[in-house]
A and B are shown apart, each in its own frame.
Chain A
Amino acid sequence: MTPLTPQELDAIALSLKVAFWATLFSLPPGILAAHALARWQFPGRQLLNGLVHLPLILPPVVTGYLLLLTFGTRGPVGAFLQETFGLVFAFRWTGAALAAAIMAFPLMVRAIRLSIEAIDPKLEEAAGTLGASRPWVFATITLPMMLPGVIAGAILAFAKAMGEFGATITFVSNIPGQTQTLPSAIYALLQVPGGEAAALRLVLVSVVIAMAALLLSEWLSVRAARRVAGR
């Protein structure tokens, strides 16, 4: 097997970069949304639940097109961000990261929410009677105890972000070195005659990365769960 070409290496590096930033930036809002859905009572809770889950049930092409309408250079949010912060999403790797983050968000929130719901609220109550205000209770009790769920959610989101295709290609197209992630590269190779062999190599790389992420998440989760359960 010949070594990977620079273009293939670019696609792999870009995918890892996109998935990393997508996961990192969706963690704080993911934890917040999961906490809100698990513990808060507020009007519009069902609406928030629906919004969070929307990317899971919409066709990815639709999500990508909506992103283009909103975050494109002529979209309301996109234009504002470009003028104010010089931040451009359309046809850039940042856009790929945004699309991946949105698509992975429901998976992340679900995993974290489950771990929050598994925490006995009576423990948080007990921390309150010991003098801890709500933010302190969250920082010292809730957050450490939901850690296994956060780790699981983050790895799940990372894997999903690595594999995101539909929304990404719709929103930021398939520009080598800029927005051509691993799945886009595989797709592109399959479009050219005789590209199957090259595509297969990238498929193998995909499988290896996904398996590594899965094993890592298992290992981290077991460790964190053991810590939280106090063994």
Chain B
Amino acid sequence: MSLSVALAHRLPGLDLDIAFEAPPGVTTLFGRSGAGKTTVVNAVAGLLRPDRGRIVAEGEVLCDTESGIWLPPHRRRLGYVFQEGRLFPHLSVRQNLTYGRWFAPGRRDGDDFARILDLLGIEPLLTRRPAALSGGEKQRVAIGRALLSRPRLLLMDEPLAALDEARKAEILPYLERLRDEARVPILHVSHALAEVARLATTVVAIQDGRVIRTGPAAEVLADPEAVPALGVREAGAVLTGRLAAHHDDGLSEIALTAAPLFLPRIAASVGAQVRVRIAAQDVMLALEAPRSISALNILPATVIAVRQGQGPGVVVQLRSGEDVFLARVTRRSADAMNLGPGTPCFGIVKSVAVAQSDVGRGRQP
């Protein structure tokens, strides 16, 4: 499956001109509010007719303004998970879930229904009404409803934005399972970098209606050139490793390619793939391996690039074995240490600096 989008659309205060390809996996449209992300998703869904554009999903042309092709939303077979859920209040959860199946082609697979209920943990909610659900439950039902319409592509417009932190933490693991198990490609919109780091396989960074950077998530997030667009405070690379062991003192050990990473206990089993986002500002650099230091994680690394920003800080891109990560230090330190491409050094990460919400499941190999 692939999705190919090229569109131009003029909105009040925004001139949108965007083109990207979405390979299988989760493609995240990332950008600030008002950058035009939702407009793109609505155009893909058929809820908005772009001034000019061509959208192709799985070889089928959904929209081509040049040749006048326009498939109405109900014939596009795309599941759309809206920010506010949009469950039908007059129907029960079960009726909401099965709504799209009336119109879906192919068999009515009871097995499929049971699998998705289990995947999202919504079995106990079936007889309830949407009004009696919590925000997180509503969103899970909305995802199940979209999946059960047998879409060839799932669209998710900030599915977590309307939820508080606790609810987000409740739903993120379900979305990770969805990415790894449901085999439906996902086009996902977000302005939260932590969410992008957890979910995305491909990132399309959008600013003021233009695509400024696109590529595999690990690459884009570890690119110092992309840092200003992503937000300096939030920037950070995503490292994927294997959970090697749970230690008795409450730490979990993740095997990276060059060194182990010790983090507070991770809720995953030994051997599982784990994604960890390490914020650039949580990484310290040293030219020699520090001894007698409280930080547990010392990654031997080589500087790939140093990027000067506007302010007093610089972003340093480093390679440790196969893993690429970012460190944000002051320009003064970078000068004093004489950091430049090829400089060998050590990246130091405090275990407790990595938030629980920045650790997620890795994609199954």
> How many angstroms from the CA of A131 to the CA of B131 in the assembled complex?
24
Q: With a CB–CB cut-off of 8 A, which chain B residues contact A140? A: 99
A230 touches B130 (CB 8 A): yes
Asked if A196 is an interface residue, CB under 8 A from chain B, the answer is: no
B72 touches A128 (CB 8 A): yes
Q: Which residue of A lies closest to B89 (CB)?
A: A230
A126 touches B80 (CB 8 A): yes
B131 touches A230 (CB 8 A): yes
> How many angstroms from the CA of A129 to the CA of B149 in the assembled complex?
9
A230 touches B90 (CB 8 A): yes
Known: A125-B47, A129-B73. A229 touches B104 (CB 8 A): no
Query: Per-residue CB proximity of B109-140 to A under 8 Å, as 1/0?
Result: 00000000000000000000111100000000
> How many angstroms from the CA of A140 to the CA of B101 in the assembled complex?
13
Q: With a CB–CB cut-off of 8 A, which chain B residues contact A123? A: 86, 88-89
Query: Per-residue CB proximity of B72-87 to A under 8 Å, as 1/0?
Result: 1111111110101010
Q: With a CB–CB cut-off of 8 A, which chain B residues contact A120? A: 86
> How many angstroms from the CA of A230 to the CA of B128 in the assembled complex?
9
Interface residue from B72, B75, B103, B129 paired with A231 (Cβ < 8 Å): B129
> How many angstroms from the CA of A205 to the CA of B84 in the assembled complex?
51
B103 touches A131 (CB 8 A): yes
A128 touches B74 (CB 8 A): yes
Interface residue count on the A side (C-beta < 8 Å): 23
A141 touches B88 (CB 8 A): yes
Q: Which residue of B lies closest to A144 (CB)?
A: B90
Asked if B45 is an interface residue, CB under 8 A from chain A, the answer is: yes
B89 touches A131 (CB 8 A): no
A133 touches B74 (CB 8 A): yes
Interface residue from A131, A136, A144, A145 paired with B104 (Cβ < 8 Å): A131
A145 touches B149 (CB 8 A): no
Q: Which residue of B lies closest to A125 (CB)?
A: B47
* B57-110 CB contacts (< 8 Å) to partner A: 72-80, 82, 84, 86, 88-91, 99-100, 102-104
Return B135 CB to nearest CB of chain A, in Å: 15
> How many angstroms from the CA of A120 to the CA of B103 in the assembled complex?
22
Q: Which residue of A lies closest to B149 (CB)?
A: A130
Total contacts A to B, CB within 8 angstroms? 79
A127 touches B99 (CB 8 A): yes
Interface residue from A126, A132, A231 paired with B82 (Cβ < 8 Å): A126
> How many angstroms from the CA of A125 to the CA of B72 in the assembled complex?
11
In this complex, the member of A128, A134, A140 whose beta carbon has the largest number of chain B beta carbons within 10 angstroms is: A128
Interface residue from B45, B88, B100, B132 paired with A131 (Cβ < 8 Å): B100
* A189-209 CB contacts (< 8 Å) to partner B: none
Asked if B198 is an interface residue, CB under 8 A from chain A, the answer is: no
Q: Which residue of A lies closest to B145 (CB)?
A: A130
Q: With a CB–CB cut-off of 8 A, which chain A residues contact B80? A: 126, 129
A132 touches B74 (CB 8 A): yes
B103 touches A228 (CB 8 A): no
Known: A131-B104, A133-B74. A228 touches B149 (CB 8 A): no
Asked if A227 is an interface residue, CB under 8 A from chain B, the answer is: yes
Q: With a CB–CB cut-off of 8 A, which chain A residues contact B104? A: 131
Known: A132-B74, A230-B89. A122 touches B82 (CB 8 A): yes
Asked if B318 is an interface residue, CB under 8 A from chain A, the answer is: no
Return A39 CB to nearest CB of chain B, in Å: 15
B149 touches A131 (CB 8 A): yes
Q: With a CB–CB cut-off of 8 A, which chain B residues contact A125? A: 47, 73, 86
Q: Which residue of B lies closest to A122 (CB)?
A: B86
A228 touches B82 (CB 8 A): no
Interface residue from A122, A129, A133, A145 paired with B90 (Cβ < 8 Å): A145
What is the interface of chain A, defined by CB distance below 8 A to chain B? Answer: 120, 122-123, 125-134, 136, 140-141, 144-145, 227-231
What is the interface of chain B, defined by CB distance below 8 A to chain A? Answer: 45-47, 72-80, 82, 84, 86, 88-91, 99-100, 102-104, 129-132, 145-146, 149, 155
Please provide the 10 A-B residue pairs with the shortest distance between their CB atoms, ordered closest to farther.
A131-B103, A230-B129, A130-B100, A230-B131, A129-B80, A126-B86, A128-B73, A230-B89, A228-B90, A130-B149
Known: A132-B103, A144-B90. 15 other contacts (CB 8 A): A123-B88, A123-B89, A125-B47, A126-B80, A128-B46, A129-B78, A129-B146, A130-B146, A131-B74, A131-B100, A131-B103, A227-B90, A228-B89, A230-B90, A230-B131
